[in-house]
Amino acid sequence: MDLQELQTTIRATYGQRDAERGLARTHAWFVEECGELSRALFRQGHEERLHEFSDVLAWLATLADLAGVDLAEAARRYADGCPRCGGIPCTC
């Protein structure tokens, strides 16, 4: 699944509920999921990390959608390496 497909699927699955919740409350959920990811990274195993990465990715897609941002377009900023120096690897 690419980023565009993910964002489309998340929108179809949760879009109405997300719109009703609004940007500020959705951001709060996203931040909470980032905290859960942090705990998984440092205190849990691979399966928990996989679960939390997927949750963070889903909430990021929701947040981007509510903000009118296409994640695939945003990702293209890094298509040629570091957006600042252009290097792969970064030489900044």
12 located within any domain: yes
Please calculate the CA angle 29-38-21 and round it to the nearest 5 degrees: 5
84 located within any domain: no
Domain count, the chain: 1
65, 11 in Cβ contact below 8 A? Answer: yes
65, 18 in Cβ contact below 8 A? Answer: yes
Residue 16 belongs to a domain with what CATH number?
Answer: 1.10.287.1080
32, 52 in Cβ contact below 8 A? Answer: no
34 located within any domain: yes
Q: Residue 9: which domain range?
A: 3-78
* Half-sphere exposure (Cβ direction) of 82: Cα atoms closer than 13 Å: 9
Does the predicted model carry a pTM greater than 0.95? no
44 located within any domain: yes
70, 64 in Cβ contact below 8 A? Answer: yes
59 located within any domain: yes
pLDDT tens digits in sequence order for the chain, 92 residues long? 999 999 999 999 999 999 999 999 999 999 999 999 999 999 999 999 999 999 999 999 999 999 999 999 999 999 999 999 999 999 99
